[in-house]
Amino acid sequence: MPDEKRMIDKFEVIHALQIGAREVVVGVSPEQEFMCCFCTRDSMREYYTEAMGSDDYLEVMELYADRLKDQVAAMQAQRQTLHIPLDMLGGEHCFPLLDSDDITDKVVAVKPGALRYEYQRADCQLILVTNGSGARGYSRGTSVYGVNVFTGRRDGRWERRDILGEVKPECLPQWAKDRLPVIQREQALEKGRDR
């Protein structure tokens, strides 16, 4: 519902911006008190931390601006630790994804537009698909699950429409070629334990 107000306790959210893993939020109460906090989400709910309140709007907005600046600095610091080319792959680097394609156990590229702006970089784009109804061809489902090739960790849920296609072997970056055998070995061990 587009007209529904987002509320945190008695505070109506009037500003919110997510940069990185945390969203910075400002709210106002009916008594004209202002609050700034961080919000994080999991698949079940939202969590609010480090709430600060004041009856001075400008004081809360200064805190909001400082927290946003800190989030930007954290993302820049993270990016500088990667030591890999950050260029993303495009459609020319992938086999077109057809309805009949099974992409299970394939390295795919996530469409740049499906990633938030701060994550539109190579280390966030490449996924080794592990399962999901959307990973199979002609499936009614759309969910695709996988492991991030850079981190080796589960990468959450994607929609099949978020996938650009299977990365052509000759277009796979060298860093991904180096990490992939380790991830595939770990996946094989995990499948063996599940049996």
Provide, rounded to the nearest whole percent, the portion of the chain with pLDDT above 90.
88
Domain endpoint, select from 80, 103, 122: 80
Range of the domain at 61: 7-80
96 and 138 together in one domain: yes
Q: Is 1 contained in some domain?
A: no
Q: Which domain-ending residue is among 50, 80, 110?
A: 80
The predicted pLDDT at position 141 comes to: 92
Residue 112, in any domain of the structure: yes
The total of structural domains in the chain comes to 2
Q: Are residues 124 and 174 in the same domain?
A: yes
Does residue 2 fall inside a structural domain?
no
* pLDDT band at residue 2 using 50, 70 and 90 as cut-offs: low
Same domain, 140 and 162: yes
State which of 36, 51, 80 marks the end of a domain.
80
For residue 14, the tally of other CB atoms under 10 A from its CB is: 13
The answer to whether 23 touches 1, Cβ cutoff 8 Å, is no
Q: For the residues 85-104, what does the mean pLDDT come to?
A: 96
DSSP assignment letter at 4: P
φ and ψ at residue 104, rounded to 5 degrees: -60, 135
Residue 69: per-residue pLDDT: 97
Q: Is 111 helix (H, G, I), strand (E, B) or coil?
A: coil
Q: pLDDT-based confidence at 41, cuts 50/70/90? A: confident
Look at residue 98 and tell me whether its pLDDT is greater than 80.
Answer: yes
Q: Is the pLDDT of residue 133 over 90?
A: yes
Residues 134 and 61 in one domain: no
Residues 103 and 145: beta-carbon distance below 8 Å? no
Look up the pTM and report it.
0.84
Residues 104 and 123 in one domain: yes
**Domain match, 55 and 99 both:** no
